[in-house]
Amino acid sequence: MKTKKGIGVSPGVAIAPAAVIDAEEFDIPERHVPAEMAQGEIARLRKAVSLSKTDILALQKRTGEQIGKETASIFDFHLGLLKDKVLLKKFIDTIMEDHVTSEYAVAAVLRGYAKEFLDMPQYLAERVKDVYDIEKRLLRNLVGQSRQTLQHLDSDRILLAHDLTPSQTAGMDRKHVLGLAIDAGGQTSHTAIVAKALGIAAVVGLNNVTAEATAGTMVIVDGTRGMVIIDPDEKTIAEYRDYSRRQVEFIHSLDALRDLPAVTMDGHEISLLGNIEFPVEASSVIEKGGDGIGLYRTEFLYLGVESEPTEEDHYNAYKEVIDLCKGRPIVIRTLDLGADKQTQSRARTPERNPFLGCRSIRFCLQELPMFKTQIRAILRASVDADVRMMFPLITNLRELRQAKTIVRDVAEDLEEDRVEHRHDIPLGMMIETPSAALQCNAFAQEVDFFSLGTNDLIQYTLAVDRANERVAQLFTAAHPAVLGLIKDVIRAGQRYEVPVSLCGEMGGDVVFTMLLMGLGITTFSCTPPAIPEIKKVVRSVTMEQAVKVARRVMTFDGDQEILNYLRVATREVLPETYISM
């Protein structure tokens, strides 16, 4: 029996024999052809491109129907590349000028593309996988070789692979694939996105799990803890089966809390909001018993589109969420473009270190027409609605004041145009950099509310790329430095009567609920599935208990010591939760 630790990207437990997926490689020699055969090679190439487009469209349609349109959008890049006239010309030029086969032209050109991505920072790693996926699809259609399929397995399996291409992940047999254990990948990989959407337990960043097991070896995937157990003994299997059963029972028991308030045993009310990326997700927040939307990410409007969204596109998206929420509060975050998002993949010269570059509010302040378009739509849509506007990645007072000035200018333009709009929309900011946290007293005198974005706050405070599996063990919300910054921001909010919420992944982790309540957080915003469990913790403790937990935690000087204490404290008030086995 061997236990491996990775990054849990989709919670749950799966127990089944392994299916080890080999990497699909093509040996394409440099074979020359007579000049008179070039047109024939080009015809083969065009046919392969056409077949590949058809394959991807079918896969995208099936993915959209089975998983969702948002997940299916991962294939937009594939289609865009295959439709790219510049790429097709490079294929043809290579065939004509070098007198080579279409297979070699495809391999040579796309490997060149992949090398360009590999020479860029870590955040573009997923694009390399996309390029390899397209290359393999084209080569299969050229040489007539079928790939190892994951669509028609004959029994339940845990898939072990060095990595899965987007096509492989989306095309999995949902009936028989119970879990994923992947050597590569991080929290934002395609595998992670699709596994979450399918509800498949998944652990990535395992480095060499494929070398540890063979086909048929019994494997346990614990996506909640980020653990994979290879060849477990009967006792371990029995324990995990019981653990899995209790986990399912516990999740179902939370349904009864949907319409109950999140109030502590001694009467302190906590507001539980949801984080959403797409308008339709607002319904999930309500279904899970959420009080509203604490973080509405708006970047989806710019994903998978050829032209910039119009003011009406923004307006309609915001109105859809407002209508679904029926008077509940909604916090709309202005565009957080840049870094690992679509601006880098489209840029002529991508930034070498985009997480420290022109992203979020910096990008918006340089792209004023785009920024003003969004603000106009927010102000128009928020008439007679409980909507607040929030600026991301503010690092200094100048940025905040510029953003506020632009909002005032846009409101004046709407007034002059006699367009109905919200005159008094609350303006807030995300605290997600150490500079913002350290200047929180100054910021508190300038805004209506704070929202702690712990994902980036942890990343920037600890100098850890949260998408890099090589340093995943260093990315922790329990680091004393991170907790100290959070405490300071909460105190500043209390001092200046500025509400402070928390909207990072930390807010959806039940282990931190009592600590955050004890530090003074009364508004949590998390993914919709996490809301019921957080509510269960809130309703199971007193505020006095939470304060004691927070005081004790702040005396520790190590993240592991803090995590161990918090797990024990949470288990004491909520023994049925799945954090213990």
Q: Rounded CA gap, 403 and 397, in Å?
A: 10
Q: Which of 319, 255, 266, 213 is nearest to 531 (CA)?
A: 255
pLDDT given for residue 466 in this prediction: 64
Range with lowest mean pLDDT among 172-181, 219-228, 302-311: 302-311
In the chain, the amino acid numbered 394 is: I
Q: Cα dist. 536→174, 272, 530, 532 in Å?
A: 31, 11, 10, 6
DSSP lists the bridge partners of residue 8 as 203
Q: Which of 162, 190, 314, 421 is catalytic?
A: 190
pTM score of the predicted model = 0.69
Q: Which of 366, 423, 426 is nearest to 391 (CA)?
A: 426
Would you place residue 341 in the very low, low, confident or very high pLDDT band (cuts 50, 70, 90)? very low
**Mean pLDDT within 540-556:** 97
For the cut 90, the answer to whether the pLDDT of residue 484 exceeds it is yes
Residue 176 annotated as catalytic = no
Would you place residue 467 in the very low, low, confident or very high pLDDT band (cuts 50, 70, 90)? low
Assess contact for 432 and 457: CB atoms under 8 A.
yes
pLDDT given for residue 248 in this prediction: 80
Residue 503 annotated as catalytic = yes
pLDDT given for residue 185 in this prediction: 75
Q: Rounded CA gap, 280 and 286, in Å?
A: 11
**Mean pLDDT within 219-235:** 92
Would you place residue 346 in the very low, low, confident or very high pLDDT band (cuts 50, 70, 90)? very low
pLDDT given for residue 556 in this prediction: 97
Would you place residue 70 in the very low, low, confident or very high pLDDT band (cuts 50, 70, 90)? low
Range with lowest mean pLDDT among 67-76, 170-179, 454-463, 530-539: 67-76
pLDDT given for residue 21 in this prediction: 76
pLDDT given for residue 347 in this prediction: 45
Q: Rounded CA gap, 391 and 429, in Å?
A: 5
Q: Which of 116-130, 236-250, 509-523 has the highest mean pLDDT?
A: 509-523
Would you place residue 209 in the very low, low, confident or very high pLDDT band (cuts 50, 70, 90)? confident
For the cut 80, the answer to whether the pLDDT of residue 520 exceeds it is yes
| 3-class DSSP string for 468-510 | CHHHHHHCCCCCHHHHHHHHHHHHHHHHCCCCEEECCHHHHCH
For the cut 90, the answer to whether the pLDDT of residue 263 exceeds it is yes
Would you place residue 305 in the very low, low, confident or very high pLDDT band (cuts 50, 70, 90)? low
pLDDT given for residue 390 in this prediction: 97
Range with lowest mean pLDDT among 219-228, 255-264, 377-386, 568-577: 568-577
The residue to which tokens 């007579």 are assigned: 34
**Mean pLDDT within 24-35:** 70
pLDDT given for residue 122 in this prediction: 45
DSSP 422: -
Tell me which H or E stretch contains 521.
Answer: none
Q: What is the mean pLDDT of the chain?
A: 86
Question: Which conformational region is residue 346 in: left (phi greater than 0), alpha (psi within -120 to 50 degrees), or beta?
Answer: alpha
pLDDT given for residue 328 in this prediction: 97
Would you place residue 23 in the very low, low, confident or very high pLDDT band (cuts 50, 70, 90)? low
**Mean pLDDT within 328-352:** 66
Q: Which of 12-26, 120-134, 316-330 has the highest mean pLDDT?
A: 316-330
For the cut 50, the answer to whether the pLDDT of residue 242 exceeds it is yes
For the cut 90, the answer to whether the pLDDT of residue 284 exceeds it is no
pLDDT given for residue 345 in this prediction: 43
For the cut 90, the answer to whether the pLDDT of residue 353 exceeds it is no
Would you place residue 123 in the very low, low, confident or very high pLDDT band (cuts 50, 70, 90)? very low
For residue 158, the SS3 value is strand
pLDDT given for residue 314 in this prediction: 95
Q: Rounded CA gap, 98 and 92, in Å?
A: 10
Q: Which of 358, 364, 503, 526 is catalytic?
A: 503
For the cut 50, the answer to whether the pLDDT of residue 247 exceeds it is yes
Q: Which domains does the chain have, with CATH numbers?
A: 2-23+149-232 (3.50.30.10), 35-143 (1.10.274.10), 269-573 (3.20.20.60)
For the cut 70, the answer to whether the pLDDT of residue 515 exceeds it is yes
For the cut 70, the answer to whether the pLDDT of residue 577 exceeds it is no
For the cut 80, the answer to whether the pLDDT of residue 300 exceeds it is no
Judging by DSSP bridges, how do beta strands 177-182 and 201-204 pair with one another? Answer: parallel
Would you place residue 308 in the very low, low, confident or very high pLDDT band (cuts 50, 70, 90)? confident
DSSP 145: P
For the cut 50, the answer to whether the pLDDT of residue 342 exceeds it is no
Question: Which of 440 and 35 is assigned the larger pLDDT?
Answer: 440
For the cut 90, the answer to whether the pLDDT of residue 180 exceeds it is yes
**Mean pLDDT within 550-558:** 97
